[in-house]
Chains A and B, each alone.
Chain A
Amino acid sequence: MLGLESYRLVADMNRLLALLFHQGVLDEQFLQLQQLQDESSPNFVSEVVNIYFNESEKLLRNLRTLLMDREQWEYKRVGVHLNQLIGSSSSIGANRIRNVCVALRAASEQNNRLGCLRALDVLEHEYCYLKNKLHEFFHIEQQRVLAAGIRYPNPMQQQQQ
C-alpha cells in the first residue's frame, strides 16, 4: 500500500509538472535543475526554488517601488533588477516569468510607463502562480518521500528516463 501511495503521488507530481510545461510556465531548465539534485544535496531543487522566490520577491518589491513611486523612473536600476530576475528565472526554468520580464524591460526601454506597469502586474501574477504551483509540487514530493519512507535521489529524473 505504501508503494501504491508513493506511486500515486509521483503521478500527481508528473501531472502537475506536465501542466506547467504545457502552459509554458516552466521549461526544460527546470529538468536540468532536477538532474543536478544528487546525494550530496538531496533537497537541491526545493532549496534553489526557495532562494529564487525569496530573491525575486525582493526584486519585485523593488521594481514596484521603482515603477510606482518615482515620477521619473530610473530605467537603469529597473533594467538591473530585471536583468537579475531574468537571469534567475531562466536559471530555474521559470519561462513565463522570464518572458514577462523581457517584455517589461522592453517597455521600460521604450519609456512606456503604462506598459511597464501592466507588465509588472502580469509579472506579479505569474510569480504568484508559479509559487503556488511549485509549492504544491514540493508539497506532493514531500508527501511522497514520507510515504515511501525512503528517498530516491532523484525521483523525477528516474521517471524522465
Chain B
Amino acid sequence: MATLQKLPYVSSCSTASSYGVHSDKGDMFPAGLRVLVVDDDFTCLRIVEQMLRRCSYLATTCSQATAALNLLREKKGCFDLVLSDVHMPDMDGFKLLELVGLEMDLPVIMMSADGRTSAVMRGIKHGACDYLIKPIREEELKNIWQHVVRKKWNETKEQENSSSLDESDRHRRGTDDVEYASSANEGSEGILKAQKKRRDVKEEDDGEFDNDDPSASKKPRVVWSVELHQQFVSAVNQLGIEKAVPKRILELMNVPGLTRENVASHLQKFRLYLKRLSGVSQQQIGLPNSFCGHIEQNPKLGPLERFDFQALAASGQIPPQTLVALHAELLGQPAGNVVLPAIHQQFLLQGSRQGQESVRGDVGVAYGQPLIKCPSNISKQFTQESPEDVNSNFKTWSSNSLGSIGPSSNLTGLASQNGNTLMGVMQNQQQLQRMLQEQQHKQSVVQESTPSINVQPSCLVVPAQPPSFQVVNRPSISQSCSFPGAEAIFSSADVTTPQPNNSIFAVGQMLGVNHKTAKILDGYSVAGPVSPSVSSCSGIAENNALRRVQNSAPEFNASRQVPVLFRDMNDCQGSYSEKSSHVLDHGTLRNIGFVGKEACIPSRFAVDEVEAPISCNGSTYRENGKKVKQEPNLDFIESVNMSNPMMQYFSPNDVMSVFSE
C-alpha cells in the first residue's frame, strides 16, 4: 500500500527536487549550468565556449557530433543542456538533436548561420527548444538556462495543473487545451469511422500511428491502444517507475513508429495518473461540486448529436462510458450493436487481458481518437469520481473475463490472482457461465444469492461476480420488493438474459425504467458491449450490471436515499480493500504501473455511473437527476478512504495479465 501511494509522489518529487536544486542556489542558479557545445566549426566552438564561461556556465566542447553523442551516453546526467550546430560533417545536427532527445531527454538548442525560416522550422520540428542564429551573442547564451528550468517546470506544472480539480479548470482544459481540443475533433470525426477501422488497426498491430482519422492526417498521432499501453506499462514496471526513462521504455516496447516524444508524453500522463491515484483521497473532497456541475451539463447534451457528445467526451467533459450509453440511447439498438462488435473483438483478441483493458478497448472503439487522450481524460474523471466503484467493476470484469476467457489464454495468471479471492468463486463462475449460456442466470442466481445480503462486498471482489451480483440484486429486490423500479429491473434482466447480445441493451432499457438504477443502467450499457462477444463476456457485462445493481439496490433498500448508498458503497469498498491487500502481495512493484491503468479505467466507469443517468433514457434522467447528483457526491466522500485499496487491488491483476502475455 505504502509503496504504491508513495511512488507516484516520489516521481513528482524527484523532478521538483531537481528543480529545487537550482532554485536553492538562489541568485547563483544559472551559474554552473552544464552545457555541452557541439560544433564542427572551431571558431564558433571557441567563441561560444568563452561566452558560456563568461556566463559562468560549465562548458564542454566537442567538435564532432558522434563524439558528443558518445560523451552524452557515457556521462548521463552530467549535462543540463546541449548546444549543437546544425550542419556537421559526421552527423546532422538534427539527428543528434533527435538522439539526444530520445536518449537523454535534455533540452537541445540548435545554432546555425542559416537563419532561413525553413531551417528554423526544421529545428522546431525536430524538437529543438531554441534555435540560435549565428553569430551567437552573449546575451542569448545568458538566457539559455531558462530552457533547462522550463523543461522541468513544464513537467511539474503539468502535474500540478492536472491535479487541480476545479470545475472551471476542467472546463478550461477541455476547451483551451490544444491537445484536448484536437483530440475532441479527432474523436468526433473518428468515432464514427474508426469503430470499424479501429478493429482492423488493432488486429494488425499495436495502434502506432492512427491514420484513420482525417484530422490526424496533418500529424501522425499515436493511438495508445490497450496493447500499446500494456506494453508501455510492462516496460515501466520492468524499469521501475522511478527509473523509467522514455528512451528505455521505447527500447523495451520495441514498437516501430513510436517515438521517444510519444513515450515521453505518455509517461508523463502515466505518472500523473499514479499521482492522482495516490492523491485521490485528498482531492475528492472538492469533487462533489464539480461533479454536480458535470451532471447538470449532461442534460444539455441530450439534444446534441453524436458528434458533440464525442467531442465533449474527448475533451474530458463527458466520460467515455457516458458516450457509450449515449450512443445506445440516441441511436437506439443499432448503436449498441455497432459498439458491441468492437468490444467483442477486444475481448476475443485480448481475452487474456483484464477487465480494465477490455474496458479500454470498449472506450477506444466508441471513442476512436479519444483513446489517445484517454490518460488525461481518465485522470480528470478519475479524480472527480470515486475510483472505488470503478475498481470494483474492473474487478468483476477481470474475474469474469478470466473465468470465461481465461481458459484460452491467460487463465493461469488470472487463476493466480483469483486464487485468493476466487477460492469459492470457481463454483460461482461455473454457475455464472452456465447462467450466461443459459441466460437464465439471474433467476437461478437470485434464488441462490438471495439469502446473503452481506455477500455483496465479496461478490464485488470475487471473480464469481455474477452470483454475487445476483445476490446483491436479490437482497435489494427482496428488500425493495415494494419498489416498482427494482422489480422492473429484475424483470428486464430476465428478459434480457435469453439473448446475450441483446441482453445489454435490454438491461440498459430496464435500468432506464428504473430511474433510481440510473447507475446500473450505465453500468449495463457499458457492460453490454462486452457481453455479446462471448458468453463469458456477457457474464462480465452482467457482472457490471450486477454491480450497478448492487449499488442501486442499496439505494432502493435504503429508501432510495443517498445515505443508504453510501453505506452499501462503503461495505463494498471495504471488501475490496481487503481483497486488494491480498492481491497486492503478489506483485507490489508492478502494481504501481498497473494502478495507473486500472485507475484510468475505473475512473471511466465511475464517470459513467455517475453520468449514466443522463446517458440513459431521458425520462430516467430527469427522475434520477437529483439523486444521481447526490450519489456521486456520497460515493466520492466514501471513496476518499477506499480509493487506495482499490487501486492496489486492481493493480495486481494487471500485472499478472502482463506477465502472462
> Is B a genuine binding partner of A?
yes
Name the residue on A nearest B111 (C-beta): A87
Per-residue interface assignment for chain B, residues 347 to 373, with 1 indicating a CB less than 8 Å from any chain A CB and 0 otherwise: 000000000000000000000000000
B89: A residues at CB distance < 8 A: 80
The residue from B54, B114, B134 contacting A91, defined by CB atoms under 8 A apart: B134
Knowing A29-B135, A87-B134, A88-B44, the reply to whether A36 touches B54 (Cβ < 8 A) is: yes
A67 at the interface (CB under 8 A from B): no
B137: A residues at CB distance < 8 A: 29, 32
The residue from B43, B85, B134, B136 contacting A52, defined by CB atoms under 8 A apart: B43
Per-residue interface assignment for chain B, residues 26 to 60, with 1 indicating a CB less than 8 Å from any chain A CB and 0 otherwise: 00000000000000111110110011011000000
Per-residue interface assignment for chain B, residues 365 to 396, with 1 indicating a CB less than 8 Å from any chain A CB and 0 otherwise: 00000000000000000000000000000000
Knowing A48-B46, A55-B43, the reply to whether A80 touches B87 (Cβ < 8 A) is: yes
Whether the pair B113, A87 counts as a contact (CB closer than 8 A) is yes
B24 at the interface (CB under 8 A from A): no
Tell which of A4-12, A38-46, A153-161 binds the partner: A38-46
B138: A residues at CB distance < 8 A: 32, 35-36
Name the residue on A nearest B50 (C-beta): A36
B401 at the interface (CB under 8 A from A): no
**How far, in whole Å, are A87 and B119 apart by their CA atoms in the complex?**
14
Name the residue on B nearest A86 (C-beta): B113
Whether the pair A87, B53 counts as a contact (CB closer than 8 A) is no
Q: How many A-B Cβ pairs are below 8 Å?
A: 70
The residue from B43, B87, B113, B135 contacting A51, defined by CB atoms under 8 A apart: B43
Whether the pair B50, A44 counts as a contact (CB closer than 8 A) is yes
A87: B residues at CB distance < 8 A: 41, 43-44, 85, 112-113, 134-135
Per-residue interface assignment for chain B, residues 138 to 156, with 1 indicating a CB less than 8 Å from any chain A CB and 0 otherwise: 1000000000000000000
Knowing A40-B53, A90-B113, A90-B134, the reply to whether A84 touches B87 (Cβ < 8 A) is: yes
A143 at the interface (CB under 8 A from B): no
Name the residue on B nearest A80 (C-beta): B87
A100 at the interface (CB under 8 A from B): no
A63: B residues at CB distance < 8 A: none
B42: A residues at CB distance < 8 A: 51, 54-55
Whether the pair A83, B135 counts as a contact (CB closer than 8 A) is no
Knowing A48-B43, A83-B114, the reply to whether A91 touches B135 (Cβ < 8 A) is: yes
**How far, in whole Å, are A93 and B113 apart by their CA atoms in the complex?**
13
Q: How far is the CB of A91 from chain B (nearest CB, A)?
A: 4
A71 at the interface (CB under 8 A from B): no
A88: B residues at CB distance < 8 A: 41, 43-44, 134
Q: How far is the CB of B96 from chain A (nearest CB, A)?
A: 15
Whether the pair B46, A55 counts as a contact (CB closer than 8 A) is no
**How far, in whole Å, are A36 and B136 apart by their CA atoms in the complex?**
12
Q: How far is the CB of B38 from chain A (nearest CB, A)?
A: 13
A40: B residues at CB distance < 8 A: 53
**How far, in whole Å, are A47 and B134 apart by their CA atoms in the complex?**
19
A66 at the interface (CB under 8 A from B): no
A83: B residues at CB distance < 8 A: 86-87, 112-114
Whether the pair B135, A36 counts as a contact (CB closer than 8 A) is no
Whether the pair A91, B47 counts as a contact (CB closer than 8 A) is yes
Name the residue on A nearest B134 (C-beta): A87
Q: How far is the CB of B56 from chain A (nearest CB, A)?
A: 11
**How far, in whole Å, are A91 and B44 apart by their CA atoms in the complex?**
6
**How far, in whole Å, are A38 and B50 apart by their CA atoms in the complex?**
10
**How far, in whole Å, are A90 and B48 apart by their CA atoms in the complex?**
13
**How far, in whole Å, are A48 and B85 apart by their CA atoms in the complex?**
18
A148: B residues at CB distance < 8 A: none
Q: How far is the CB of B515 from chain A (nearest CB, A)?
A: 72
A36: B residues at CB distance < 8 A: 47, 50-51, 54, 138
The residue from A32, A47, A86 contacting B46, defined by CB atoms under 8 A apart: A47
**How far, in whole Å, are A32 and B53 apart by their CA atoms in the complex?**
14
Per-residue interface assignment for chain A, residues 96 to 121, with 1 indicating a CB less than 8 Å from any chain B CB and 0 otherwise: 00000000000000000000000000
The residue from A33, A38, A54, A55 contacting B47, defined by CB atoms under 8 A apart: A33
Name the residue on B nearest A36 (C-beta): B50
Q: Which of A138-157 contact B (CB under 8 A)?
A: none
A123: B residues at CB distance < 8 A: none
A44: B residues at CB distance < 8 A: 50
A80: B residues at CB distance < 8 A: 87, 89
Whether the pair A92, B50 counts as a contact (CB closer than 8 A) is no
Whether the pair A91, B43 counts as a contact (CB closer than 8 A) is yes
Q: Which of B47, B86, B112, B136 has most A Cβ within 10 Å?
A: B47
Q: Which of B76-122 contact A (CB under 8 A)?
A: 85-87, 89, 112-114
**How far, in whole Å, are A55 and B43 apart by their CA atoms in the complex?**
8
Q: Which of B134, B136, B138 has most A Cβ within 10 Å?
A: B134
Q: How far is the CB of A37 from chain B (nearest CB, A)?
A: 8
Whether the pair A84, B136 counts as a contact (CB closer than 8 A) is no
Q: Which of B42, B43, B54 has most A Cβ within 10 Å?
A: B43
**How far, in whole Å, are A93 and B275 apart by their CA atoms in the complex?**
52
**How far, in whole Å, are A90 and B42 apart by their CA atoms in the complex?**
13
**How far, in whole Å, are A35 and B113 apart by their CA atoms in the complex?**
21
Q: How far is the CB of A133 from chain B (nearest CB, A)?
A: 17
Q: Which of B256-310 contact A (CB under 8 A)?
A: none
**How far, in whole Å, are A47 and B113 apart by their CA atoms in the complex?**
21
Name the residue on B nearest A54 (C-beta): B42
**How far, in whole Å, are A38 and B43 apart by their CA atoms in the complex?**
18
A48: B residues at CB distance < 8 A: 43, 46-47, 50
**How far, in whole Å, are A92 and B44 apart by their CA atoms in the complex?**
8
A52: B residues at CB distance < 8 A: 43
Per-residue interface assignment for chain A, residues 39 to 81, with 1 indicating a CB less than 8 Å from any chain B CB and 0 otherwise: 0110010011001101110000000000000000000000010
**How far, in whole Å, are A149 and B313 apart by their CA atoms in the complex?**
79
Q: How far is the CB of A143 from chain B (nearest CB, A)?
A: 25
Q: How far is the CB of B10 from chain A (nearest CB, A)?
A: 41
Q: How far is the CB of A23 from chain B (nearest CB, A)?
A: 19
**How far, in whole Å, are A38 and B51 apart by their CA atoms in the complex?**
11
Q: How far is the CB of A108 from chain B (nearest CB, A)?
A: 14
B51: A residues at CB distance < 8 A: 36
Name the residue on A nearest B53 (C-beta): A40
Q: How far is the CB of B50 from chain A (nearest CB, A)?
A: 5
Q: Which of B41, B54, B89 has most A Cβ within 10 Å?
A: B41
Name the residue on B nearest A56 (C-beta): B43
Q: Which of A52, A56, A88 has most B Cβ within 10 Å?
A: A88
**How far, in whole Å, are A88 and B149 apart by their CA atoms in the complex?**
30
Name the residue on B nearest A81 (C-beta): B87
A56: B residues at CB distance < 8 A: 43
**How far, in whole Å, are A78 and B44 apart by their CA atoms in the complex?**
19
Name the residue on B nearest A101 (C-beta): B113
Name the residue on A nearest B39 (C-beta): A87
A92: B residues at CB distance < 8 A: 43, 47, 135
Per-residue interface assignment for chain B, residues 571 to 582, with 1 indicating a CB less than 8 Å from any chain A CB and 0 otherwise: 000000000000
B41: A residues at CB distance < 8 A: 55, 84, 87-88, 91
Q: How far is the CB of B95 from chain A (nearest CB, A)?
A: 14
Name the residue on A nearest B54 (C-beta): A36
Name the residue on B nearest A82 (C-beta): B113
**How far, in whole Å, are A36 and B51 apart by their CA atoms in the complex?**
7
Given contacts A29-B135, A83-B114, A91-B47, 8 further A-B contacts (CB under 8 A): A32-B137, A32-B138, A47-B46, A83-B86, A84-B41, A87-B41, A87-B135, A88-B134
Lowest 4 CB-CB distances: which A-B pairs, in order? A87-B113, A88-B43, A86-B113, A90-B135
The 6 listed contacts between A and B (C-beta, < 8 Å) are: A32-B137, A48-B50, A55-B42, A86-B114, A86-B134, A87-B112
